[in-house]
Amino acid sequence: MNSQEYIEVLLKIDPYTEENAEIMMAELDELPFESFTEEDPYLKGYIPKEKYDARMLKLLLSGLDYDFKVDFSATLMPQVNWNAVWESQFSPIVVDGLCTVKATFHKGLKRTRFNITIDPKMAFGTGHHQTTYMMCRALLRHEADIKGKIVMDMGCGTAILAILAAKMGAGHTYGIDIDAVAAASAFDNARKNRVSRHVETYCGDASLLQRGKYDILLANINRNILLEDIPTYAVSLKKGGLLFVSGFYTEDLPMICSAAQRAGLEYIEEDSMDNWCRAGFRKI
């Protein structure tokens, strides 16, 4: 992994703000970028050389409709040390004093009720700490609904949410990610956290959800994918099942709620941090 050649894509954002950079990261989620760093006025994205497609990137950027402009350039960067990049980006997360999410290189942290250690094999867009925090908080607030239940972590990445659900007593937890390396790493993290008997991970998209029915479905992805896949999530939930989604902004909540309502889900709650939003729904 560390010796692989990567392309560094410089996305110049005008005007540059942290929020505009976060919007761009969300928009680029469907492309195989493996890490982002921010350096005003640039958002820097890193993508394997063989997966870089300038035409697709240009097409995506041309279709944006925001009040800022984006130009890009690309440079070959051989032998990037991705562990070092990951370490520089990831900070420990402590959720409501109950759950700690840390990397293997974080030492000396006070233990909480639930402790999750993630192995930094690659960067999975770790800048979205607000959404991870809120999704963990949703699980902690619904502990009684989790015990003994079937939980699906859609777009699981490092499997933080799947691992937390397993540690909280879920009967069985599944994780799906469209990236094969992420899916494999998710299982490795489950094993590292001693919950691998209760966690299964698969590589694929929402079409895999048809394999089963779930009591709780978690999706911390982005607005466009959520809007497309909410009907599939709803079909995959048992009656009375819970759906928690994040990865979108507070101003996007009405359209998320509308999509959920059309799919037979009722709104039950919301949460927000720094203009990021998390919503909860129940299958009627």
The pLDDT of residue 85: 64
The 8-class DSSP code of residue 111 comes to P
Percentage of the chain exceeding pLDDT 70: 91
Q: Are 156 and 275 in contact (CB under 8 A)?
A: no
Structure tokens at 4: 């692989």
Which residues contact residue 63 at a Cβ distance below 8 angstroms, ignoring those fewer than 6 apart? none
H or E stretch including 84? helix 82-89
Listed as ranges, residues in the chain with pLDDT below 50 are 1-2, 123-127
CA–CA gap between residue 201 and residue 162 (Å, rounded): 9
CA–CA gap between residue 134 and residue 20 (Å, rounded): 20
The pLDDT of residue 1: 39
Neighbour count for residue 281 (Cβ, 10 Å): 27
Q: Is the peptide bond before 120 cis (omega within 30 degrees of 0)?
A: no
CA distances from 19 to 36, 43, 205, 252, 276 (A): 14, 11, 27, 14, 10
Q: Which residues pair with 270 in a beta bridge?
A: 279
CA–CA gap between residue 144 and residue 149 (Å, rounded): 10
**Paired sense of beta strands 42-48 and 35-39, if any:** antiparallel
**Paired sense of beta strands 214-220 and 150-154, if any:** parallel
Q: What is the pLDDT of residues 165-182, one digit of tens each?
A: 999 999 999 999 987 778
Q: Sort 129 into a burial class: Cβ within 10 Å, 0-12 / 13-18 / 19+.
A: middle
CA–CA gap between residue 159 and residue 101 (Å, rounded): 11
The 8-class DSSP code of residue 147 comes to B
Q: Sort 7 into a burial class: Cβ within 10 Å, 0-12 / 13-18 / 19+.
A: buried
Label residues 16-33 b or e (16+ Cβ within 10 Å = b).
beeebbbbbbbbbbeeeb
> What domains lie within the chain, and their CATH numbers?
6-80 (3.30.70.860), 142-283 (3.40.50.150)
Q: Are 101 and 92 in contact (CB under 8 A)?
A: yes
Structure tokens at 208: 């895999």
Q: Are 64 and 70 in contact (CB under 8 A)?
A: yes
Q: Are 156 and 162 in contact (CB under 8 A)?
A: yes
The pLDDT of residue 120: 57
